[in-house]
Amino acid sequence: RILFVNGVLQSRRSSEIPYHEALVHPAMLAHESPSRILLLNCGGGAALREVLKHKGVESVIMVEEEKQVIDISKEFFPEYHDCSNIQGGIHHCLDDDRVELIYSDIYDWSDSQYEEKTGLSFDVIIMD
């Protein structure tokens, strides 16, 4: 199976594991103790799955513009969201208490955080 969003290839089942491992783990391992993670447009779910494999993760904010990406991924690519094999994991990664899902344009969301001076900071930011 292949996932396209707005005509652009987003994910291919046959290559998603090496792609998402390469997307996530170098950034996570580059930080001494990554605990606060920001995922931007990673709605397929596999990047979140890879982030949650790291034991020190305390919180993940996931900003996704397209709710349909998550809905389609849940239906047709359920293994992308499967955290059942992670120690202490639950079946669906988005159900993890450490995860906050926000539906918004990533640029609008980041602008609003800056303008509101929320003080949010992240150890690792991953954009797909």
Active-site residue numbers?
Answer: 128
With beta carbons less than 8 A apart as the criterion, state whether 55 and 88 touch.
Answer: no
Contact (Cβ atoms closer than 8 angstroms) between residue 128 and residue 38: no
Round to whole Å and give the CA distance between 1 and 67: 19
8 Å CB contact between 71 and 3: no
| Distance from C-alpha of 59 to C-alpha of 7, rounded to nearest angstrom | 32
Distance between CA atoms of 75 and 23, rounded to whole angstroms? 23
Helix segments in 4-56, DSSP class H: 16-30, 46-51
